[in-house]
Chain A
Amino acid sequence: MRVFNRIVVILLLVGLIALGAYTVVYSFELFGYQLSNLSSALNGFTSGVEGFVSDVEDGNLPALTIAILAAVALLGLILLFMEFKPRRPRRVRMQRGTYVVRDIVKDEVSSAAEETPNVLGSTTTVAAKRKPGAKVKLRADVRRGQDKKAIKSDLRERVQQHLARTGVPLGRLKLKLVESDPRQTKTRVQ
C-alpha cells in the first residue's frame, strides 16, 4: 500500500474507532455520558467548526493555525505528487524483455565485495530503475587505518566486472566504506 493510501486508511480507521467508542460510551451511559446529552455535545462541536470557518472567512486566524494549515496543504501536495509518480519496478530490467530479480543482483554484488581484499563484510541494497539497470548501494567494512581510496576503487572495479560478466546493467553504484572492528564483522581474519 502506498503512503497516500496508508494515510487515508489510517485516518478512516481512527475515525471509525472514535465513532465506535463514542457510540458504546453514550449507548451504555458510561462515565456519566448520557445519550440525551449527545445533541449538546454535537452542538459544541458544530459551533466550534462554525467559529473556525468564520475566523477563516474574516482572516482572523492565529499565525500558528496558518502555519499548520500551510504545512498540511504542503504535505497533501507532496503526497499527491508521490502518488502520481510511477511505481518503481520490482525486477531489474536488462534489455529486450529480460528481467532479473533484485536478489540475484544483490548476491552478485555481495560476492564481488567479499572477494575484494581488505573488505571484511558488506551490506548491499539493490533497487530496480525504471529504465534498464540496477541502482546499487554497497556498504563495505574495512579495518581502521587502511587506504580507503584504493579499496574503494578496487571494489568498484570488481563489482562492475562481476555484473558485466552476469550481464546486469549497472545504473548507479554508491559505495560507502566503514571502518569496523574485525571482531564484529563477517570476515574476521584475512
Chain B
Amino acid sequence: MTNGILQIARAAGEAVLATEGVHSLGTGRYAEAATYEGTEKFTGVVVKPDELEIHIVATYPLMRPIPDLAQLIRDRVATESGGRRTLVVVEDLEVADEGL
C-alpha cells in the first residue's frame, strides 16, 4: 500500500512546480512537510492515505487570487493524487525573478 508514495509525491511536486504562480515547494512552517519512504524523503508534498498535502511558496505579486491558484494546483495534481483529497498550504510569497 505504501509502495510508491514517494513517486506520487515527486510526480505531484513536479506538476505543482510547473504551475504558473508557484515559486517553489514549501518545507513546512511548524513541522517538516515531507513524504518519507525508506531512507528517502521528498519535501513539499505530504502523501497521506486519503489526503495529499501540498505546501507551496507563491510568486509575488500574485498572478491570481490564492483560491484560484489552489484550484489550478488541484487540477494539475488530480491525475497523480489517486483520488486523495488535495490540500494546498501557501507558506510564503516570493518576489518573482523578473530577468529569468
Contact = CB atoms under 8 A, between A and B. Distances in A.
Given A165-B65, A167-B65, A167-B67, A97 B90 contact: no
A96 B91 CA distance: 17
A101 B30 CA distance: 10
B88 interface: yes
B15 to A, nearest CB: 16
A143 B54 CA distance: 44
Interface stretch (A32-40, A87-95, A114-122): A87-95
Interface in A87-136: 90-91, 94-101, 103-104, 107
A165 B86 CA distance: 23
Q: Report the interface size class on chain B.
A: 10 to 19
Contacts, number: 51
A166 interface: yes
Nearest to B65: A167
A60 to B, nearest CB: 53
A138 interface: no
A99 B88 contact: yes
Contacts of A101: 29, 89-92
A19 B45 CA distance: 49
B66 A97 contact: no
Contact of B67 (A98, A103, A107): A98
Contact of B93 (A96, A104, A165): A104
B87 A100 contact: no
A168 interface: yes
B85 interface: yes
Interface in B66-98: 66-68, 70-71, 74, 85-93
A94 B65 CA distance: 11
Contacts of B86: 97
B66 A98 contact: yes
A107 B74 CA distance: 25
B8 to A, nearest CB: 17
Given A91-B29, A99-B89, A166-B66, 8 more contacts: A96-B67, A98-B88, A98-B90, A99-B87, A100-B90, A101-B29, A104-B92, A167-B67
Interface of B: 29-30, 62, 65-68, 70-71, 74, 85-93
